[in-house]
Amino acid sequence: MTIELQSPLDMHVHFRQDAMLRNVAPLTAKHFAGAVVMPNLVSPIDSLERLLWYTDQVKQATEGELFDPYMTLFFRDYTREELVAAKPQIIGIKLYPAGATTNSDRGVSQIHTMFGVLALMEELDIPLLVHGESNGFVMDREKEFQVVYREIASTFPKLRIVMEHITTAEAIGLLDEYSNLYATVTPHHLLLTLDDVVGGLMDPHLFCKPIAKRPEDRQALLTAALNAHPKLMHGSDSAPHPITSKECPGCAAGIFTAPIILSLLAELFEKHNALDKLQSFVSNNAVRIYRLSPPPKTVVLTKSPMVIPANYHGVVPMWAGKTLPWSIADFG
């Protein structure tokens, strides 16, 4: 038995820089035809100069693979000239509330002060990608951020807004309320609840932002993904951290899934008799929403077991040591 996917895409991934970039980017580029690369480096990608430098680094790291990196800028108060110059080089601009997650210190504190940039992005048709969490109680942060989504979606009705890595039933509801709201969801939020992270022995490799939520939230996300909700896209938020930053006090947020994503999704969609929806979830929806032409790449999975390695170059993947029934047989 095999599954054939045409040009699978990862609409949210962290590649980092230097050795980490060279180690992790090829893992994504092997299995995917394209990926949206996040800009939260230690000094964020927030100028055309840094963007061109980073694009070049990503291209070097993924050389030889049939793979398009879709680059993003880190949101700040860009001028019209800066936006016009950057537009051909980017798929969108990523907004982080200040301090919400890894390397987001230079994020936004007051959304209203940013309405000028949002108006320019709407006019220039540059999508806005958002890490949607307030700085309230950790389980309520996504829910509390809904007021911001509502306000920007209604104030800028032509701005395409992507709610990144949604984790709640409420976020799925919002998708149907505003025509200009879209979302990505991660494989791990389709599989985990908070119980998996801290319900028994604490598992740092399942700790991420936004934190996994309640069973009913996971169910709502899963139902939407398995039905290939037309406004929902796969974005893994695969976020590598060295083992020393995960297995320590002050554990960094981020789950590393890049090399196992398609195996995880194949198992999940098969279990729920929804394999016919997987193509839309991992590619077609994103192609339509972002108007992409990814390179033609066929990825074949076969039912032969894959044991998840203990680590990839010192980065521990989700569920290390577990066996998954599907593995990648071929790509090209």
Contacting residues toward ligand DOR, per CB under 6 A: 14, 40, 101-102, 131, 208-209, 237, 239, 253-254
237 in catalytic set: yes
**What residues make contact with Zn ion under the rule CB under 5 A?**
237
In the complex, minimum distance from the CB of residue 253 to ligand DOR, in angstroms, rounded to a whole number: 4
Which one, 14 or 229, has the nearer CB to ligand DOR? 14
292 binds, among ligand DOR, Zn ion, none (CB under 5 to 8 A by kind): none
Residue 65 or 237 having the CB closest to Zn ion? 237
Identify the bridge partners of residue 298 per DSSP, sorted by sequence position. 6
> For the stretch 244-256, what's the b/e string if a residue is b when 16 or more beta carbons lie within 10 angstroms of its beta carbon?
eebeeeeebbbbb
**Alpha carbon of 89 to those of 21, 63, 66, 287: distances in Å?**
19, 18, 18, 17
Structural element, H or E, at residue 155: helix 141-155
CB of 144 to ligand DOR, least distance (A): 16
Cβ atoms of 57 and 28 closer than 8 Å = no
Partner in contact with 40, chosen from ligand DOR, Zn ion, none, beta carbon below 5 to 8 Å by kind: ligand DOR
> Which residue, 114 or 239, is less far from Zn ion as judged by CB?
239
d(CA 248, CA 329): 36
- C-alpha 302/C-alpha 300 separation (Å) is 7
Q: Which is nearer to Zn ion, 217 or 237 (CB)?
A: 237
The pairing of beta strand 306-307 with beta strand 298-302: unpaired
Task: Report the nearest approach of Zn ion to the CB of residue 164 (Å).
Answer: 6
Whether cis (ω within 30° of 0) applies to the bond prior to 294 is: no
Q: From the CB of residue 151, how many other CB atoms can be counted at a distance below 10 Å?
A: 13
- Work out how close the CB of 302 gets to Zn ion at its nearest, in angstroms, rounded to a whole number: 30
The one catalytic residue among 10, 68, 217, 237? 237
Min. distance of Cβ 105 from ligand DOR in angstroms? Answer: 12
Indicate the residue among 3 and 11 with the shorter CB distance to Zn ion: 11
Active site (catalytic) residues = 237
